[in-house]
Structure 1
Amino acid sequence: MENTKRREFSHPYTPYPIQVDFMEALYDCIESYKVGIFESPTGTGKTLSLICGSMTWLRKNKAQLAVSTASADENEPAWVLEQTIQLAREEFSRNREMLQKRLDKMRRKNMRARISYEQGFKRAKKAPEPVDDSQFLPEDYSEVIKPEVQRLLSALAPPVENDFQEPVKIIFASRTHSQLSQFVGQMQHTTFPPSSDLQDLESTKLISLGSRKQLCINPRVSHMNSVQAMNDACRDLREGKKGGCKYYKNPHDALGKVDINTFRDTTLAEILDIEDLYKLGKHTSTCPYYASRASIPASEVITVPYQILLSRSARKAIDLPVKNSIVIIDEAHNLLDTITSLHTMSITKSQVSSASSGLQKYQHKFQNRLNSGNRVNLGYLVNMLQALEVFFEKAQKFHKKETAPGTPVTTSSLFDGSTADLINVNRLEKYIDESKIVFKIESYLEHVNGETQEKSHSSSLVLSSVMEFLRQVNNPDSEGVLCFDGPTKLKYQLLDPSEPFKDIVENARCVVLAGGTMEPTGDYLEYLLPYLSQDQIKLFSCGHVIPPQNLSVQVIPNGPNYSFNFTFDKRNDEKMILDVAITLLVYSKIIPEGMVVFFPSYKYLEQVVAVWKKAKKDGKNIYEILNDQKRIFVESQHDSVEKTLSEYAEEVPKGAILLSVVGGKMSEGINFSDGLARAVFMVGLPFPNLMSAEIIAKRKYIEQSVSEKMKAKGVSAKEALEASKGAARDFYMNICLRAVNQSVGRAIRHANDYACIFLLDGRFGKPEIQKKLSKWMREGIREGSFKEALGEVQQFFASHEKN
């Protein structure tokens, strides 16, 4: 570091040197308005480093940021400017002090939302009540209110009252709510100096935001299976004529404001996670989904799941304040895939048929009770679905090549030969939103079918899925493609994730992508942030907290009898597959406790196990022999992860082997610390399916875009072709190596942990592969013969037995 004087980061423990480096780099990244890509291996205290680095910057700078917005004419005398700044500083401190006193009072009254897990909130089943089928009818629909009148009515509505707005916030996003809860748990261990010298104390003010699925406490809404149906059901209750939702507090109503303010102060008085908010809402009969928004202005930290941060419509719906905020995205190795998947949708022939059938059943039942607006729009919906059915019927007669995965489809061809192409889809979208028709239809179908929960779940999702697909196709992203995924499936896929992400980058003060395994970083630079120059990006990667002698990384190019080369052409070689079992058997006699073995896919894992069980020696197959040495547990695509992991952990002290899948349930989010993984084996390179619709479409897009860029620079067509093919290959390889890094990175969890990593494939010895491995792993990588590696591993574990 250039700074000779280290900053004080209020870390709750004595930080490792690499944590200090991380926090210093993060502070500088925020200070200089950059986009940061930060890699800190699992077990190095990444979460606390993120918290302490960002909160230290926030507390040191937010008072100055608030003062800098004080309005004074630069042409005024110096003493006037100075007085204005002083008054702004005093007002800033006074506001925070008043808030702090109010929150302290809330704590003293013990009004926080700490309701024990033992109490819980079991949703009692009510006896069936007579059903009035008029509840399934939409409100009479017409577009009589002009947009100008709607804007006027909105302007006349009274404003929502708030204390004050913090000048800058930290928005922390992660993939799952469990990961966000872990972040909140770490935040609860921290305290930071106040942002003003005039304050003695300033508690951290954090609010956890979530979707209706996580926060809705009304069983009439929360039982709905699709997001669209939940949204519609919620609106139907709030805007309905039969009393509305008893949990929703109107911010424009005097009593509603009191309840919302109480909820707001309770959430800011203590650091609560999403489950705490749900329980608080139940305890106070206040909707946490809506009431939590009142905490946004005064909060310093906001936690959100990916699907809220990365969706422009979701951000707008909750008014997430990205402008000038510090946006931290954890577990960012998933980011490219997550953005793509959020903007990718597919439908099948059977889904369309099911939706069409359900819609016509509803239409037949209520046709004579609907007003003209509803009848017309339902007719349009039926026409569109029937046109899609005809399209799929035609597609099944096409030549196989015409419907091969990744083959583009024009939107106009979906409705060829029908009147559906004349329908105003934008107006139809508006009808779907305002009439809540999806919720009405799904509720009716669930009622009349008397379905089981499982069947209902499947049925109710169908109409929502088809409607969402039609929305996406009608409003395509500039860099998306509609294509076949076989004759009975259509897929709309986003090809350029940089476009939807650009809005966040351009509005936030700083964006930080953090993860335990961010290598290889090339994809983020090329496909997520291509519009940024190198000096606008800060790359940080630290080593591991463990000493070098606690990690052994071995490339194993061959087993006792055969070379390991798990390419597509050779991976089915049963002799090589058997040699993997023999390799594991040999090492299982040296390696104590648990061994985790990763395979490229569930299908290949099943194939390997079948080969092992087929080959017999002395009356036993190799699977049974290996199982006698260390009990084998196999990850299943369908069974409970918790059950398998629990049984495996129980057996680990006696010796156990866990056969897992890269990208499966065991490869992410589960940490194999200490004895759970004294060794991790990676069998082959887990390349994605080259013939999938996603990969084909993405490869074509990369090749075309790179070729166009190269030609624009004046290079020859041949050079442009070579560059485009190389870029596509590199992207394909990056997907594979990122998955390898993520899987093997779960083995080391703390400074005293130790483990061996075995890479079973000769290709791992290639420099172009090794340079894409995580820095902490490639620094100590070794390659040798089977016997040489065996000798080193014996010494490795012998040395740790002595310690």
Structure 2
Amino acid sequence: MENTKRREFSHPYTPYPIQVDFMEALYDCIESYKVGIFESPTGTGKTLSLICGSMTWLRKNKAQLAVSTASADENEPAWVLEQTIQLAREEFSRNREMLQKRLDKMRRKNMRARISYEQGFKRAKKAPEPVDDSQFLPEDYSEVIKPEVQRLLSALAPPVENDFQEPVKIIFASRTHSQLSQFVGQMQHTTFPPSSDLQDLESTKLISLGSRKQLCINPRVSHMNSVQAMNDACRDLREGKKGGCKYYKNPHDALGKVDINTFRDTTLAEILDIEDLYKLGKHTSTCPYYASRASIPASEVITVPYQILLSRSARKAIDLPVKNSIVIIDEAHNLLDTITSLHTMSITKSQVSSASSGLQKYQHKFQNRLNSGNRVNLGYLVNMLQALEVFFEKAQKFHKKETAPGTPVTTSSLFDGSTADLINVNRLEKYIDESKIVFKIESYLEHVNGETQEKSHSSSLVLSSVMEFLRQVNNPDSEGVLCFDGPTKLKYQLLDPSEPFKDIVENARCVVLAGGTMEPTGDYLEYLLPYLSQDQIKLFSCGHVIPPQNLSVQVIPNGPNYSFNFTFDKRNDEKMILDVAITLLVYSKIIPEGMVVFFPSYKYLEQVVAVWKKAKKDGKNIYEILNDQKRIFVESQHDSVEKTLSEYAEEVPKGAILLSVVGGKMSEGINFSDGLARAVFMIGLPFPNLMSAEIIAKRKYIEQSVSEKMKAKGVSAKEALEASKGAARDFYMNICLRAVNQSVGRAIRHANDYACIFLLDGRFGKPEIQKKLSKWMREGIREGSFKEALGEVQQFFASHEKN
């Protein structure tokens, strides 16, 4: 292995020692491992470490990778191999020199004109649609395309010309577009040595990919609420119907190719994010959703949201080159949940009834104007929806236990007593895709109703949701389950997220899961990567950038008067709830600036506030007394986060308290640096609802799969049962502790920051709980009496006041 002391990572600033360790570990991971799980606390410069570590490996190795493909035949004489390698190396450098000159020219052109897309465009609002009824009719439908016609169509399509293909790429994925924009912003601060010693300069080539929702610039499509409707409307316009789409540039057309190439070079000449691409598309009247794909071959870095990377169909739709790429997934603490949610769908009785009613309205209006293919398939759809309506009507008469959350349902039982089970659903799916019937029906219903935008939003999404549910049920994943979530709701849930993720792992050169709070890591090993051996996975966790004296972590098992035990059966004790208020009041007199308090749920937060407002002392309730000490702000499910945060931040210098919720809007993606959170209080352990359909189904699956594995190893039935129950409990606990780690990790943002973290619940003192906390918290955790903790906190803030 290369001497790590000699590695230069081209970090734009002087990196912290833990950042150097991170970059070294990442380089080694890409070099030698299949998967890496990297934890770097919030505020430690994780993004730049990911960029510099991966780009350094890319630039040092991609020339060798390109050359190695040219010298694959080892049977050739040595001098021939040497000559072949030299020619390949020269061609590699020549291609990149030509591209660099082209991009430099484009960059100079842009700098001279400083094109107006930087001034921004307002995203288009809903455009009025023509009211001719014929727009709601599908094309005459027939499944038969003669083979000779298919061959002729294929022969007429000319090949699309592309730049050379980089031998390896970095695909960076994150949960939201704002997080991806932050990554792009950090990338703009970096420069790296060229990949060949024959080059003087090589700029970083990055392309940001997104969905139609983010990139469509045609107001006739972008205003639509349903993804299915957007896809179908776009396809309609691209096929030249309704006047076509003036923004779509046909890559098989000479003029279209020129526009696409110009767009490609502009995107590669400078590092742009999604908003930049949208504005560029508006400025050049070029569809950024399609034109951005021309930048993929010559790009070194591709940014995509989770939804594209983690969906096999979405990857295929945009030709995302996962094969041999370095795939980096940031904010990966959400990965298991994200994969599960992408493959989990539900429908309700009211949705089915609404979809069925709308479908029959459409059928009644256009029955005589549809050809036989459309009439037959539309009849099949009506039949299936009516069968589902009957199923829900029967379910309401079942015993409560039969429709309890998590109770399995067989697919065949959905259509019992009807002819719907005789329908070829695969052919029906093909009809839905090719006819764009869902889009036609939804557009018609929206037009006929003439309702407000909010009402049409809900109605337009219903049919798409029901159709997607039927697709999923018809093509179930091998480890999914269809179950009740009460008598009026059905849920299809993925139970094994490793299957859809396996395709990425097997095709990529290396997959890196990175986050500020990846602990506990056991779930990733057991449920996401069970097919990999330990020597194929690299685990890395670093400490915080702050010195030890800048962090105090206190387990508070007791308040001034009562023990803190927020288990489900004890958390409603009003005396304990009041003791929480007294605890906050006592600490608020010591802690300067802002205090953030996390509760397990919105419902419990509302309950606590209600108790505080009810209990009075000297004519004032405890809420008012606490509010007099530090003004209280409460996170709401409905109010704007930005408004609440802005008002809180304005009050922080005088002293403020923010009551928030674990897993809520403020527990992720929002940084409480410096005075915004001189203290974070975690009230209890935020376990998810044990009786929810998702948790019940997942626990059953874990218990069954672990039991089968244990029995296969020859253990007794009793030992297998104990192991399976233990695994399910561990999984349940991991969900809770990941949420704790994510929430409290918001407090420390940079090397000079300082804060206290308070864990209010005696259970936080248990070793099995503490071992699942983030490493940087575990190292300094303390537990003592209320008085002892208070004394330590006084000393903590007194020492920082002197500094």
State the alpha-carbon separation in 2 of the partners of residues 117 and 152 from structure 1: 42
Once residues 503 and 126 of structure 2 are traced to their aligned partners in structure 1, the CA distance between those partners, rounded to angstroms, is 46
Deviations 1:115-151 (A, max 9, x none): 6688432367799575211001001100121578546
C-alpha deviation, 1:296, in angstroms = 0.1
After TM superposition, the score normalised by the length of structure 1 is 0.98
Structure 1 distance, partners of 2:154, 2:112, is: 34
Q: Residue 552 of structure 2 corresponds to which residue in structure 1?
A: 552
When the two structures are aligned, how many residues end up with a matched partner? 803
Distance change in 2, residues 1:582/1:280 (3 Å): same
In 2, the alpha carbon distance for the partners of 1:699 and 1:156 equals: 55
State the secondary structure of the residue aligned to 1:108: helix
The CA distance in 2 between the partners of 1:346 and 1:114, in whole Å, is: 48
Q: Deviations over 1:233-255 (max 9, x none)?
A: 10011114343110000000000
The 8 Å contact of residues 578 and 612 in structure 1, kept in 2 or not, is answered as yes
Change beyond 3 A, Cα 1:713–1:458: same
Matched residues in 2 for 1:42 and 1:533: separation? 29
Alpha-carbon contact 1:480-1:495 (below 8 Å) kept: yes
Q: Distance in 2 between matches of 1:118 and 1:230?
A: 27
Q: 1:87 to 1:293 in 2, by over 3 A?
A: same
Distance 1:4 1:95 in 2: 31
- 1:557–1:763 contact (8 Å) kept in structure 2: yes
> CA-to-partner distance for each residue in 1:140-176, whole Å, 9 max, x for gaps?
1001215785466336521110120000000000000
Tell whether the 8 Å contact from 1:72 to 1:84 is kept in structure 2 after alignment: no
Q: Percent same amino acid among aligned pairs?
A: 100
Change (3 A) 1:126 1:92: closer
Distance 2:223 2:622 in 1: 48
Partner deviation per Cα, 1:539-563 (whole Å, 9 max, x = no partner)? 0000000000000000000100000
1:773 maps to which residue?
773
* Deviation larger for 342-351 or 119-128: 119-128
Change (3 A) 1:257 1:359: same
Encode CA deviations 1:770-800: one digit per residue, 9 max, x unaligned: 0000000010000000000000000000000
| Offset, 1:76 | 2.1
How far the C-alpha of 1:72 sits from its partner, in A, is 5.9
Deviates more, 1:164-173 or 1:234-243: 234-243
Structure 1 residues 602, 13: closer, same or farther in 2, change over 3 A?
same
- Structure 1 residue 36, shift from structure 2 partner: 0.1
- Of stretches 658-667 and 115-124 in structure 1, the one that deviates more from structure 2 is 115-124
Contact 2:263–2:291, Cα closer than 8 Å, also in 1: yes
Return the alpha-carbon distance in structure 2 between the equivalents of residues 699 and 181 of structure 1: 37
Shift of 1:451: 1.1
Q: Contact 2:137–2:366 at 8 Å: present in 1 too?
A: yes
Tell me how far apart the structure 2 counterparts of residues 246 and 648 of structure 1 sit (CA, whole Å): 47
Residues 41-52 of structure 1: pairs in structure 2 closer than 5 A: 41-52=41-52
The worse-fitting range, judged by mean Cα deviation, of 138-147 and 597-606 is 138-147
Provide, for residues 515-564 of structure 1, a one-character-per-residue CA deviation record: whole Å limited to 9, x for no partner: 00000000000000000000000000000000000000000001000000
What's 1:572 paired with? 572
Write out per-residue CA displacement over residues 627-660 of structure 1, whole angstroms, 9 at most, x where no aligned residue.
0000000000011000000000000000000000
Q: 1:438 to 1:625 in 2, by over 3 A?
A: same
What do residues 655-708 of structure 1 show as CA deviations (whole Å, max 9, x unaligned)?
A: 000000000000000000000000000000000000000000000000000000
8 A contact 1:113–1:279 mirrored in 2: no
TM-aligned CA distance change 1:126 to 1:16, over 3 Å: closer
- Verify the 8 A CA contact 1:565 1:571 in the aligned structure 2: yes
Mapping of 1:258-407 within 5 angstroms?
A: 258-407=258-407
The C-alpha deviation readout for 1:302-332, integer Å capped at 9, x for no partner, is 0000000000000000000000000000000
Task: Return the TM-score normalized by structure 2.
Answer: 0.98
Change beyond 3 A, Cα 1:114–1:678: farther
Equivalent positions of 1:495-534 (< 5 A) are 495-534=495-534
- In structure 2, what is the Cα distance between the partners aligned to 1:78 and 1:2? 26
Tell me if structure 1 keeps the 8 A contact 2:662–2:686.
yes
- 2:142–2:373: 8 Å Cα contact kept in structure 1? yes
C-alpha distance 246-777 of structure 1, shift in aligned 2 (>3 A): same
* Contact 1:322–1:507 (CA under 8 A) maintained in structure 2: yes
Q: Which segment is superposed worse, 202-211 or 28-37?
A: 28-37
SS in 2 for 1:648: helix
Contact kept? 1:482, 1:492, Cα under 8 Å? yes
Which blocks of at least 5 consecutive residues in structure 1 are unaligned?
none
Q: Secondary structure at the match of 1:412?
A: helix
Cα distance in 2 for residues equivalent to 1:641 and 1:119 = 27
The one-character-per-residue Cα deviations of 1:275-321 (angstroms, maximum 9, x if unpaired) are 00000000000000000000000000000000000000000000000
Task: Give the aligned partner of residue 720 of structure 1.
Answer: 720
Structure 1 residues 4 and 368, CA gap change in structure 2 (3 angstroms): closer
| Contact 1:267–1:277 (8 Å) recurs in 2 | yes
SS of residue in 2 equivalent to 1:637: coil
**C-alpha separation between the residues in 2 aligned to 1:650 and 1:411?**
55
Question: Are 2:685 and 2:761, in contact at CA under 8 Å, matched by a contact in 1?
Answer: yes
User: What SS does structure 1 have at the residue aligned with 2:597?
Assistant: strand
Measure how far apart 1:112 and its partner are: 9.7
Q: CA deviation at 1:52?
A: 0.1
Residues 534/73 of structure 1: CA separation in 2 closer, same or farther (3 Å cut): closer
Matched-pair contact (CA < 8 Å) for 1:554–1:782 = yes
Question: CA separation of 1:437/1:130 partners in 2, compared to 1, >3 Å: closer, same or farther?
Answer: closer
Describe the shift of the 1:612–1:368 C-alpha distance in structure 2 as closer, same or farther (beyond 3 A): same
Measure, in 2, the Cα distance between the counterparts of 1:107 and 1:713.
Answer: 63
1: CA distance, partners of 2:112 / 2:473: 46
| 2:782 alignment partner in structure 1 | 782
Q: Distance in 2 between matches of 1:732 and 1:710?
A: 20
Cα distance between partner residues in 1 of 2:149 and 2:182: 47
Number of the residue aligned with 2:222? 222
CA deviation string 1:432-491 (max 9, x = no partner): 000011111111111010010100111100000000000000000000000000000000
Tell me how far apart the structure 1 counterparts of residues 90 and 542 of structure 2 sit (CA, whole Å). 41
Compared CA separation, residues 81 and 726, structure 1 to 2 (3 A): same
Distance 1:554 1:569 in 2: 25
Q: Does the C-alpha gap of structure 1 residues 146 and 18 become closer, same or farther in structure 2, counting only changes over 3 Å?
A: farther
Q: 1:128 to 1:469 in 2, by over 3 A?
A: closer
CA distance in 2, matches of 1:746, 1:203: 34
After superposition, the Cα gap between the structure-2 partners of 1:797 and 1:434, relative to the gap in structure 1 and judged at 3 Å, is same
Distance 1:733 1:294, change over 3 A: same
| Superposition deviation, residue 77 in structure 1 | 1.6
1:664 aligns to what?
A: 664
8 Å Cα contact 2:74-2:81 kept in structure 1: yes
Work out whether residues 117 and 283 of structure 2, in 8 Å CA contact, stay in contact via their aligned partners in 1. Answer: no
Structure 1 residues 226-277: Cα deviation after superposition (integer angstroms, max 9, x where no partner): 1111000100111143431100000000000000000000000000000000
Task: Note closer, same or farther for the CA distance 1:69–1:118 as it changes in structure 2 (3 Å cut).
Answer: closer
1:639 match:
639
- Quote the Cα distance in structure 2 between the aligned partners of 1:5 and 1:128: 64
Mapped contact 1:113–1:267 kept (Cα < 8 A): no
Question: Aligned pair in 2 of structure 1 residues 657, 148: CA closer, same or farther (>3 Å)?
Answer: farther
Provide, for residues 158-216 of structure 1, a one-character-per-residue CA deviation record: whole Å limited to 9, x for no partner. 11101200000000000000000000000000000000001100000000000000000
The change in CA–CA distance for 1:222 and 1:128 in structure 2 (over 3 A counts) is closer
CA RMSD of aligned residues (A): 1.5
Q: In 2, are the aligned partners of 1:616 and 1:622 still within 8 Å (CA)?
A: yes
* TM-aligned CA distance change 1:463 to 1:36, over 3 Å: same
**Helix, strand or coil at the partner of 1:519:** coil
Q: Distance in 2 between matches of 1:416 and 1:132?
A: 40
Question: Contact 2:127–2:219 at 8 Å: present in 1 too?
Answer: no
- Give me the whole-angstrom Cα distance separating, in 1, the residues matched to 2:114 and 2:481: 48
CA contact 2:117–2:276 (8 Å) conserved in 1: no
CA gap of 1:151–1:61, structure 2 versus 1, over 3 A, is farther
* Residues 243/2 of structure 1: CA separation in 2 closer, same or farther (3 Å cut): closer
